């Protein structure tokens, strides 16, 4: 029997090279945090998690500046306004708190 | 990430069963082989080209062409004349208002409910009476729900654990489709949402499983009965109660007739449920120091420092979606809570004639 693949193809990235590792940098870093939610309402404390990560990163790297921005709705991607705030940072931390 | 290639042929049904499980082409239930013959028949009945693209299905981002959708429909055993319904449903899911990516991967247990209404319900022989939320034993109802779930599984890659973080799951992930009864005292769901009565339509709404509302201890007073429905719409642990959004309420035909005979139109029922389901802030939010003091999404008109302030559990009366369906043996209702303000909002699309 001939069968048809039900999965649908995806677009593979043309250039999968990773960004430069920040551990190799010597100049102070500008770091961004994209936080899911400004206040803790139910479940993870996204904002508190980002503060804890900042402390941990400051103990390992010299940070010249930290930009912290919050998504208007945690279930949706960041809006252009939030992304614009992060345009000039050298790294962005975005993750779930557990 | 590219998936391992599938062989283009299988010897027999036994090889297909093994292949389908080894390549995770199914969520665990057995599926029919998407043979070239079956897929071609479904594509032909869609009235569209096999290469037409509906969009990319999140979270994986697989390309949903008509042929790929037809392959999943074949696996679900979908009747050929269901294809226009299925394709329209997928297009509705991809409306940004629905937030399909979030719906599929959230910790919350909501899942897209496919609601079919209009003349096509009877044309396809869909279930509108007993057990309709589990398909009512109707081929088209079960197969449409199943096909939609397989599209999300295979093309969307909605796999438990990674990336799906749903804590408990939803039985409807295996298939979640109902049809609205054509004979009813009110306007149909799609007419209430702006389409013409003679059209057929799909409405996609992300919601929990139905919560039963039996009218225990009540008489014929419609206000008391609507209060019983409202009490099922607003429990303390509900996303709706804390964040508003949308909700679905199903009335059995007998209850819809009763409310109508008491002078309640569809719109009046929506307004009364909106009012009756509001909660007192002091009853739903803790005073403990580690509890949130403010919900940013509540309207500014609500004084969040006042424990006696009443808060709505949906965005407005129109956010209470009513359908009339179910067995006609007894007055009853069911409530399907939504995902709250996070998305899964109802999207209605006309099915091309």
ipTM: 0.93
A12 to chain B, any CB pair closer than 8 A? The answer is yes
CA dist A48 and B162 (Å) reads 24
Higher pLDDT, B205 or A49: B205
A5 to chain B, any CB pair closer than 8 A? The answer is yes
DSSP A86: T
In chain A, what percentage of residues exceed pLDDT 70? 82
Sign of the C-alpha dihedral, residues A9, A11, A14, A19? negative
CA dist B112 and B149 (Å) reads 9
Contact residues, A window 29-68, toward B, CB-based 8 Å cutoff:
38-43
The reported pTM is 0.94
pLDDT for res A14: 64
User: Cβ(B35)–Cβ(A2) under 8 Å?
Assistant: yes
CA dist B104 and B78 (Å) reads 23
Give B-chain residues touching A39 at CB under 8 angstroms.
292, 294, 296
- The answer to whether the CB atoms of A8 and B296 lie below 8 A apart is no
Q: Report the DSSP pairing between strands A63-70 and A29-35.
A: parallel
Give B-chain residues touching A16 at CB under 8 angstroms.
none
> H helices of B108-261, where?
120-123, 139-154, 189-192, 222-233, 239-243, 253-261
Higher pLDDT, A61 or B199: B199
Residue A21 banded pLDDT, cuts 50, 70, 90: low
User: Cβ(A38)–Cβ(A74) under 8 Å?
Assistant: no
For the stretch B175-204, pLDDT in tens is 999 999 999 999 999 999 999 999 999 999
Reference B256, options B343, B317, B180; nearest CA is: B180
pLDDT for res B1: 63
Q: In what order do the strands lie in the sheet with A91-93?
A: A63-70, A29-35, A91-93
For chain B, report the end-to-end CA distance as a whole number of angstroms.
38
Higher pLDDT, A36 or B132: B132
pLDDT for res A24: 62
- The answer to whether the CB atoms of A4 and B39 lie below 8 A apart is yes
> Which residue among A6, A8, A9 sits closest to B75, beta carbon to beta carbon?
A6
Sign of the C-alpha dihedral, residues B151, B154, B156, B160? positive
Buried-exposed string B235-264: b where 16+ CB fall within 10 A, e elsewhere:
eeebbbbbbbbbbbbbbbbbbbbbbbeeeb
User: Cβ(A18)–Cβ(A54) under 8 Å?
Assistant: no
Residue A78 covered by a domain:
yes
User: Cβ(B183)–Cβ(B118) under 8 Å?
Assistant: no
What is the residue whose two structure tokens read 């693949």?
Answer: A5
Nearest chain A residue (CA) to B99: A76
pLDDT for res A42: 75
Overall number of domains in chain A = 1
B242 to chain A, any CB pair closer than 8 A? The answer is yes
B29 to chain A, any CB pair closer than 8 A? The answer is no
Locate the DSSP E strands across B167-220.
177-179, 201-207, 211-213
> What is the number of alpha carbons within 13 Å of residue B85 lying toward its C-beta?
33
Give B-chain residues touching A2 at CB under 8 angstroms.
8-9, 35-36
Residue A76 banded pLDDT, cuts 50, 70, 90: confident
pLDDT for res A72: 86
Determine which of A37-46, A60-69, B128-137, B239-248 has the lowest per-residue pLDDT on average.
Answer: A37-46
- Chains A and B: how many Cβ contacts under 8 Å? 93
Domain that holds residue A88: 27-93
Residue A74 covered by a domain:
yes
- The answer to whether the CB atoms of B68 and A39 lie below 8 A apart is no
pLDDT for res A97: 58
DSSP per residue, A26-83: -SPEEEEEEES-SS--SS--HHHHHHHHHHHHHTTS-EEEEEEEE-SSTTSPPPHHHH
User: Cβ(B135)–Cβ(B142) under 8 Å?
Assistant: yes
Range A52-68 average pLDDT: 91
User: Cβ(B179)–Cβ(B128) under 8 Å?
Assistant: yes
Q: Which residues contact B40 (CB under 8 A, 6 or more apart)?
A: none
Which stretches of chain B drop beneath a pLDDT of 70? 1
pLDDT for res B181: 93
Domain ranges of chain B: 209-337
Residue A20 has pLDDT above 70, yes or no: no
Give B-chain residues touching A8 at CB under 8 angstroms.
57, 62-65, 68, 154-155
pLDDT for res B65: 98
- The answer to whether the CB atoms of B12 and A1 lie below 8 A apart is yes
pLDDT for res A25: 63
């Amino acid at each position: 029997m001939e069968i048809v693949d039900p999965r649908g193809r995806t677009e593979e990235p043309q250039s999968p090279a990773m960004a430069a590792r920040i551990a190799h940098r010597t100049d102070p870093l500008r770091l961004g945090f994209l936080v899911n939610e400004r206040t803790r309402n139910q479940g993870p404390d996204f904002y508190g998690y980002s503060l804890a990560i900042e402390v941990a990163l400051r103990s390992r790297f010299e940070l010249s500046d930290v930009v912290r921005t919050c998504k208007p709705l945690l279930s949706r991607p960041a809006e252009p306004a939030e992304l614009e705030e992060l345009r000039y940072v050298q790294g962005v931390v975005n993750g779930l708190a557990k | 990430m590219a998936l391992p290639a599938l062989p283009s042929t299988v010897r027999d049904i036994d090889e297909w069963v093994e292949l389908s499980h080894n390549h995770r082409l199914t969520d665990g239930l057995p599926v029919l082989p998407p043979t070239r013959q079956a897929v071609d028949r479904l594509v032909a009945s869609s009235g569209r080209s096999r290469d037409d693209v509906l969009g990319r299905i999140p979270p994986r981002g697989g390309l949903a062409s008509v042929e790929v959708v037809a392959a999943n429909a074949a696996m679900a055993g979908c009747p050929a004349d269901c294809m226009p319904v299925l394709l329209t449903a997928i297009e509705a899911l991809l409306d940004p208002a629905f937030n399909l990516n979030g719906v599929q991967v959230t910790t919350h247990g909501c899942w897209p409910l496919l609601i079919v209404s209009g003349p096509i319900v009877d044309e396809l022989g869909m279930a509108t009476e007993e057990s309709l939320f589990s398909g009512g034993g109707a081929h088209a109802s079960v197969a449409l729900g199943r096909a939609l779930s397989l599209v999300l599984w295979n093309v969307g890659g909605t796999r438990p654990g990674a990336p799906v973080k749903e804590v408990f799951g939803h039985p409807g992930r295996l298939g979640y489709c109902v049809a609205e009864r054509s004979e009813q005292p009110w306007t149909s769901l799609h007419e209430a949402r702006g389409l013409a009565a003679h059209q057929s339509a799909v409405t996609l709404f992300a919601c929990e499983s139905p919560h039963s509302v039996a009218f225990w201890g009540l008489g014929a007073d419609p206000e008391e009965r609507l209060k019983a429905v409202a009490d099922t719409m607003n429990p303390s642990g509900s996303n709706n109660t804390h964040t508003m959004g949308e909700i679905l309420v199903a009335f059995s035909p007998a209850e819809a007739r009763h409310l109508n005979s008491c002078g309640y139109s569809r719109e009046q029922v929506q307004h009364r449920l909106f009012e009756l389901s509001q909660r007192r802030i002091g009853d739903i939010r803790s005073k403990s120091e580690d509890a949130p003091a403010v919900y940013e999404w509540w309207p500014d008109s609500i004084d969040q420092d006042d424990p006696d302030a009443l808060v709505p559990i949906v965005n407005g009366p129109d956010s209470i979606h009513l359908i009339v369906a179910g067995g006609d043996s007894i007055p009853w209702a069911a409530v399907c809570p939504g995902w709250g303000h996070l998305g899964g909002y109802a999207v209605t699309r006309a099915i091309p004639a």
